[in-house]
Structure 1
Amino acid sequence: MHAKAKFSVTGSLRYLAIALYVLFALFPIYWLVKIAVTPDKLIYTEGTKFWPSAFTLDNFQSVLFLTDFLVYFKNSLIVSLGTAFFTTIVATAAGYAFSRFHFKGKAIVIAVMLITQMFPLLMIIAPIFKIMAGLHLLDTLTGLIIVYTAFNVPFATFLMQSFFDGIPKDLEEAAMIDGCSRFEALRKVIFPLTLPGLAATLGFIFTAAWSELLFALMLTNSNDKMTFPVGLKTFVSKFAVDWGQMMAAGTLALIPSCLFFILIQRFLVQGLTAGAVKG
């Protein structure tokens, strides 16, 4: 009985800790939504009440129909999806090469990629701006995709390399002995096992591009090319901040990330068991 009671107390404390962590993580999102549905006249008068005394959807209607939010939303979606797609392709190929092949200068290439992650972005924004201007890619979504891809490839490559390193080379060798080419072995055997890595890489790159502000602020200036983080500044005027609309826009901006992870979560599970050889 004593052992059971001890186990019960330990389990209860564990669940309590998990519940507190979830509450801590979700509270900012709750507060975001709470302010978004609070009428403007009550945002300042109610103070820190945890439940608004009145609800309204006026802020959402204003954001959707009276501002350029949908333009910013579309631009962010294009840039984030494009960045995630191209970065994952490059990182997958590079990660596989680093994991499976030994070539001259490999250590130098890896060191250079690591060094690129050590520089503060503020330190290199001016050269990037000049390069984009020379390529006539300022104030374009294509320029943002190229810059985001370049800066996310090193981390994504090391992430994919770690997944490839965790897959035994014997699986490829067995497939090649059975008549598969290296590409066929990669496609039929290795690729299904890397689905968790691909899903994790896609998710990380998508969210990183979706929330990036500095490059988007410096490399775009026209209203029809702004991404969502830059577009948020339109809710801040010289003398006031429209908190209701800003929070409503922030709430709507959560939807793509949530939907994206809902779509890829099954690959995170399936990839753990798919592609195994038959015993």
Structure 2
Amino acid sequence: MPVRIPTLTLNDGRPMPQLGLGVYQLEEARTPDIVGRAIAAGYRAIDTAAIYGNEAGVGRAIREAGIPRDDLFVTTKLWNDDQGLDGTRRAFDASLTRLGLDRVDLYLIHWPCPDRGLFVETWKELIRFREEGRASSIGVSNFTPAHLQRLISETGVVPVVNQIELHPHFQQAALRDAHARHGIVTESWSPLGQGRELADPVLAGIARAHGRSPAQVALRWHVQNGFVAIPKTATPARIAENVALFDFTLSPDEMARIATLDRPDARLGPDPDSFG
């Protein structure tokens, strides 16, 4: 039987699965098969982006899945070069066309690109997509507390999600505090630290105690912290492993031990204040 994944309620009242499949760096040709396997295993959230080059493959998998469209939660993202009033609308229309959908469940600004000074104008266009019913929810990715505050102050609309790099060695406490103040869900990209978490001795020890893998322990840490996690894998066995999280619990002591792994210099991706 497929695993039933719990949901979190977004600040617009809509539910979002707490675990999804990320398809970053997944080749277009392999995307329909991998996404189809994930849906069969119980995944109901798929996270793609225009820059990933595999939206069409995601759309094909959705059409072939044999389950109602409303049972799936599809996210895609606006790439940096398309920010601004006209570019945002063209890019969104193109993403829907590639996906073969008339709406997405969540549309995100991929990076703030603060030096370009367009993210507030871009956000206003996302608000229009939501009003048109073509993006059920809207959010951002890689925004800092200052970027979030500017969006909210200038538009009055709070993103439902901020998708950020977050893993046990890079826990982003200050940014998570900002999310909590505004009612923004924290969504973790690279929740396994691009695989680096799997060799950590603390996680390995906790995994042995539960008869689980280090990946399952790391993902369970995300779940118990109330995050959404979107691990990327193209390996069928790991698709099944990564979703098998909801029949065990980390103790308060184990959660505290994982909290000690945080390192301010453990960022793996770009700095949002300078990227783009």
TM-score bracket for this pair, using the shorter chain length: under 0.3
> Which structure: greater strand fraction?
2
Give the structure with higher Rg (CA).
1
> Which structure: greater helix fraction?
1
TM superposition score normalised by structure 1? 0.26
TM superposition score normalised by structure 2? 0.26
